[in-house]
Amino acid sequence: MLNLPVFPDNSPQGFYDRLLASKVDPATGKPDPAAMSAFLAAHPETAAAMTVIKQHPPTPGFADSTYWGLNTFFFVSDAGARTPVRWSLVPQQSALPPRSGGENVLFDALIRQMRTDQLQWRLMLTVGTPQDPLLDATLPWPDDRRTIDAGTLTLTGIETERAGNARDVNFDPLVVPDGIEPSGDPLLSARSAVYAASYRARTGESKSPSAVQVDGVAT
């Protein structure tokens, strides 16, 4: 899930091309505008997606961000009926304003906030129709689609990253429980393959201390 309403690319090739176009020019310290212009001309879907993204500017922190699952999945009934679904986590609180200074100010603000209160997000399911863009993560669904409040995610504690289920696991979007099936969105299979390669690389690396030490954040 991302705090973006749509994804900038609708194919692995588009994602790859965007990375190349965004490469920093050593002479200027910035991406080459001509390369990005050429990329956007070749990928109008990304240009349209960036327009949508700019209409949803980032919130001040992590606690007040909405997180979207941008790919379509199918919920499958016992009778075999397949219903297209996207989901999002909608915050139920404002964010504690970050203090200035340092690279981890948003993490630090989240830690301070959780020391005094639990944080909650509502899990909202958006039910699509066959006419909606089911295989293109750059396209939002219409605002009038039916939504279902599926429950509440509550965070009650926070701790420094360490070995365990949160760090030493491969988050594969194609590993789903019974009753949920992936759509044919090409980004799903690409994510599955790339995440597996990333996991294999990480397991061979020496583990450095976490950049965010919970106990070291000042109140």
Q: What is the pLDDT of residue 219?
A: 79
70 or 209: which leads in pLDDT: 70
Residue 107 exposed, middle or buried by CB count within 10 Å (0-12, 13-18, 19+): buried
Q: Is the pTM of this model over 0.85?
A: yes
| Position 164 pLDDT exceeds 80 | no
| Position 166 pLDDT exceeds 70 | no
- Say if residues 92 and 154 touch (Cβ distance below 8 Å): no
Q: Residue 55: which residues within 8 A CB-CB, separation 6 or more?
A: 5
Task: Quote the longest CA-to-CA distance of the chain.
Answer: 61
Structural domains for the chain: 60-216 (2.40.180.10)
For the residues 140-150, what does the mean pLDDT come to? 97
| Average pLDDT taken over every residue of the chain | 93
| Position 195 pLDDT exceeds 80 | yes
73-120 pLDDT, tens digit per residue, is: 999 999 999 999 999 999 999 999 988 878 899 999 999 999 999 999
For the residues 46-64, what does the mean pLDDT come to? 96
128-139 pLDDT, tens digit per residue, is: 999 999 999 999
